[in-house]
Structure 1
Amino acid sequence: MEKVGGRTLRVARWRWDMPGDHPPILFFNGIGANIEAVAPLAEALTDRPFIMFDMPGVGGSPEPLVPYNTFTMSWTARELLKRFGADTVDVMGVSWGGAMAQHFTLQYPGTVRRLILAATSAGMVMVPGKPSALSKMANPRRYVDASFMEKHFRTLYGGLTGGKSEHINRLTPPTPRGYVYQLLCMLGWTSVPMLPFLKKEVLIMMGDEDQIVPLANGRILEALIPNSRLEIFEQGGHLFMLTHREQTLSSIRGFLDAPDRDQKKAA
């Protein structure tokens, strides 16, 4: 538990003191999702440090007293990085966290080396998902009722459904206020005006059967971000990182380990 700017947050770090040449990965999770939901990804990336935290009212972080926004939460994340001595990071975000990852990168470009966006959009300027999936996504029963999650897993996440029981067992329900404040954080937010000025190298990963954030949103991001590329996961739903684990890991490593653009030009 770390107290930053008046907020207490549950923070998880992996391999933080491990010697190496790779910058840490700062990860922003999906809405209502706790650290454990992404822990397998952090554990699998064995060659680099990894840091993430539960948003207020989610997982082990105490319930927020006042709302927050993308600016204040990006500042909080940056203060955490400074506390742990990380001057440069690679940033990754999934779904709701993909929007936070975009905002953090735009707010602190000097801190970010590369950016990975998974199953996400440019905010309010987006192609919406299927109503049947969105209505169940907004229902907090998906966190507290395993049978509800089991019944609607394909509607919620589409594509392949391998590993769903393991995923369901890792989820902890957010508090009602924590969940609502996360929703309010992105109210009216969009990255569209700023994305053409984003100079980072960006990997966009999308599932072609995502019913919550359709593939078209990834194409919009690719069109707006100058130095980006889109990777499409066939039969991938909103949780393609779970169902396409090896492809996800290979894509992340390949992108983060590739030479910088300047090095490629010199070669």
Structure 2
Amino acid sequence: MTTSDTLITARGVRLRSAGAGGSAVLLLHGIGGSGASFEHQLPALAPAHRALAWDAPGYGGSTDEVPSGMAGYADRIAGILDELSVDRAHLVGVSWGGVIATRVALRHPGRVRSLVLADSTRGSGGSDEAAARMRQRAEALRTLGAVEFARRRGPNLTAPGADPATVERVVTIMSGLRETGYAAAVGSMAEIDHTAELAGIAVPTLVVVGEQDRVTGIAESEELARRIPGATLRVLGGGHAANQEHPGRFNAILTGFLASVDTGAPAGGH
């Protein structure tokens, strides 16, 4: 946490909160992360937004009352927005968090002001092989334990030659994984494939990807941007955890996009 963050709880979910005015922004971390993954985004958003970064159910400081499937995560978010008296929010999702955000936009479209899908994907349910690989991750966590699992997997989220301190931070956050939350997350990814539904997204959408993403890759982000009507694609440095590796560039792209949505002005640059 930064000194300006506060912790709040809604529907059993802990959220880091920063800023008090402007439009709400809900930050949804990746499958190996937590709300701490957005330590660089919260202070950048706070001056113009009510910024909220969740620990997903079963992660961080949230309870182990996990939802059932991707629809369950979307419904939990709608309930959190209700409890926090937020009518509509910008949803910023990294990887798995982007898949959840996509589900919210499809299932609860009236609650979403815009989508930002960072190093994300359509889900892992597009083939039996991809779904099986995803489900195997939960077994790996059970077998290895969180610390060893993070030591082996965490560095792949960053680009080759990334700042060692950033790699260490990614690994440290992943070391806090709990089996209940991770298994539910893995199951939600394995069941879902948004390919056929992306054309139905009707909110402004920004797709962001690290040019050295070794997990989901540029091609997957290009596919998201191609299939979502009017989506913009931005490529920046870094790997799968681009928001942590290059926070300055990521934050500039993010805040510029959110401002364009809130003011109705065209987004600058492509």
The one of 192, 195, 206 aligned to 1:192: 195
- Partner-residue secondary structure (3-state), 1:10: strand
Shift of 1:166: 3.6
- In structure 1, stretches of 5+ residues that fail to align are none
The one of 175, 178, 185 aligned to 2:178: 175
CA–CA distance in structure 2, aligned partners of residues 233 and 113 of structure 1: 24
Shift of 1:261: 9.7
Report the more deviating stretch, 44-53 or 243-252: 44-53
- Decide whether aligned partners of structure 1 residues 211 and 138 sit closer, same or farther in structure 2, where only a CA change above 3 A counts: farther
CA–CA distance in structure 2, aligned partners of residues 36 and 9 of structure 1: 14
CA–CA distance in structure 2, aligned partners of residues 95 and 87 of structure 1: 24
In the alignment, what sits opposite 1:224?
227
CA–CA distance in structure 1, aligned partners of residues 159 and 139 of structure 2: 16
CA–CA distance in structure 1, aligned partners of residues 214 and 258 of structure 2: 28
**TM-score normalised to the size of structure 2?**
0.80
Map Cα deviations across residues 31-84 of structure 1 (whole Å, 9 max, x no partner): 1422222233212322211123222221122323x6511222211111111111
- Decide whether aligned partners of structure 1 residues 254 and 3 sit closer, same or farther in structure 2, where only a CA change above 3 A counts: closer
CA–CA distance in structure 2, aligned partners of residues 218 and 108 of structure 1: 23
Number of corresponding residues: 249
In the alignment, what sits opposite 1:91?
91
- Partner-residue secondary structure (3-state), 1:204: strand
**Residue 218 of structure 2 corresponds to residue 215 of structure 1:** yes
Shift of 1:156: 4.0
The within-5 A match list for 1:88-237 is: 88-123=88-123, 124-125=125-126, 139-140=140-141, 143-145=146-148, 149=151, 154-162=155-163, 163-234=166-237, 236-237=238-239
For residue 50 of structure 1, what is the amino acid of its counterpart?
Answer: A
- Partner-residue secondary structure (3-state), 1:206: strand
**Residue 18 of structure 2 corresponds to residue 14 of structure 1:** yes
For residue 73 of structure 1, what is the amino acid of its counterpart?
Answer: Y
For residue 50 of structure 2, what is the amino acid of its counterpart?
Answer: P
Q: Contact (CA 8 Å) 2:155, 2:170: kept in 1 or not? A: no
- In structure 2, stretches of 5+ residues that fail to align are 1-7
For residue 10 of structure 1, what is the amino acid of its counterpart?
Answer: R
Map Cα deviations across residues 210-266 of structure 1 (whole Å, 9 max, x no partner): 1110110011111101110111114x21111111111100000111111579765xx
In the alignment, what sits opposite 2:255?
253
Q: RMSD of the TM alignment (CA)?
A: 3.0
Q: Contact (CA 8 Å) 2:42, 2:51: kept in 1 or not? A: yes
In the alignment, what sits opposite 2:36?
36
In the alignment, what sits opposite 1:56?
57
Q: Contact (CA 8 Å) 1:153, 1:161: kept in 2 or not? A: no
Report the more deviating stretch, 69-78 or 52-61: 52-61
- Decide whether aligned partners of structure 1 residues 159 and 248 sit closer, same or farther in structure 2, where only a CA change above 3 A counts: farther
Of all paired residues, the percent bearing the same amino acid is 22
- Partner-residue secondary structure (3-state), 2:217: coil
Query: Going by fraction, where is helix more abundant, 1 or 2?
Result: 2
**TM-score normalised to the size of structure 1?**
0.81
The one of 240, 243, 258 aligned to 1:241: 243
Shift of 1:12: 2.5
- Decide whether aligned partners of structure 1 residues 138 and 39 sit closer, same or farther in structure 2, where only a CA change above 3 A counts: farther
For residue 216 of structure 1, what is the amino acid of its counterpart?
Answer: A
Q: Contact (CA 8 Å) 1:36, 1:171: kept in 2 or not? A: no
- Decide whether aligned partners of structure 1 residues 25 and 88 sit closer, same or farther in structure 2, where only a CA change above 3 A counts: same
